[in-house]
Amino acid sequence: MLKDKYIDYLTFEKRYSTHTLIAYRTDLEEYSCFLLSQYNIIDLLQSDHTFIRSWLISLLERKISTRSVNRKISTLKSFYRFCEKMGMLTTNPMNKVVSPQISKQLPVFLTNENIEKLFQSVDFGIGFKGSRDKLVVTLFYATGIRREELINIKVNDVSLENGTIKVLGKRKKERIVPIGTKVIGEIEKYLLLRADLIEQLKISNPNDSNSLFVTSKGLPVNPKLIYTIVHKYLTLVSSVSKLSPHILRHTFATHMLDDGADINAIKELLGHSSLAATQVYTHNTIEKLKSIYKQAHPRA
């Protein structure tokens, strides 16, 4: 099938992440269902810009967020570019489709007080699970890595001697992120408990126990578990919405910038391909400065 060929192209040539592949496949399936139900069209190559616009309008009418709609547009743009490249199209229907404007939202982040309470007052528990959960939360805040990057860390990606972790980012790009002595201490504790667990479970296949973060059954952790861990502990220190692993990434970048870190260094640590993606964090700093100015200046 054409969709399968396209997904193979994204997988092996573009080297997209598993999360992105699932999103793109889902978008194509949704559009295919729309074409079939509304126009009795099975072949995506028979679509034109009017059908696509009709689908996008239906999504917006269903209160699908503008950001999600724009991602679906990106999926179709990529898909039809692929079809052009393969010589299946002479005219790209996406050429006449305009993306809706997204209202800019500042990244949500935790305060320094939230973070202090998280690591000083919250009880993560003892034993393997407690150590693992604390290290998960610690690494997100200490390095700003993404959820999938954390899941993909292998034991041999961690260099305690050098104080670094090798991370596999988007497009399979590797980068080295530094870790401090407190993080190293947490890793050392966790590795001892992890080794005991693996030995107790008598896992003989190295591939089953190579992931840094594993479940109590010795299997690699999954995205849902990591989300659950982070959400569980962040709800104890903050009431803001979307208490996900990504909020710790935002918090890392914001706190680094607030404390004077160079924005280009933050860009490299986050694994951003362009500075524009990192500059969004400067808005939080500017808003903070505005607030301080209004409170302190006699003529503000």
Active site residue 171: no
- ∠ Cα 71 77 80 (to 5°): 140
Tell whether the torsion through CA atoms of 61, 67, 69 and 70 is positive or negative.
Answer: positive
Active site residue 272: yes
Cβ burial of 29 (10 Å; 0-12, 13-18, 19+) is exposed
Q: Sheet containing 158-159: which strands, arranged edge to edge?
A: 158-159, 164-168, 174-178
Cα end-to-end span (Å), the chain: 63
Q: What is the DSSP letter of 108?
A: P
Active site residue 146: yes
Question: Partners of 174 in the beta sheet?
Answer: 168
Alpha carbon separation from 228 to 23, 26, 132, 158 (Å, rounded): 21, 23, 13, 24
Active site residue 170: yes
Query: And the tokens for 18?
Result: 């598993």
Question: Largest alpha-carbon pair distance within the chain?
Answer: 71
Catalytic one of 71, 117, 175, 246: 246
Give the length of the chain. Answer: 300
CA atoms within 13 A on the CB side of 5: 9
Active site residue 250: no
Short-list 264, 256, 249, 265, CA closest to 285: 256
Catalytic one of 249, 250, 255, 267: 249
Active site residue 194: no
Catalytic one of 77, 232, 272, 283: 272
Catalytic one of 134, 146, 194, 267: 146
Active site residues: 146, 170, 246, 249, 272, 281
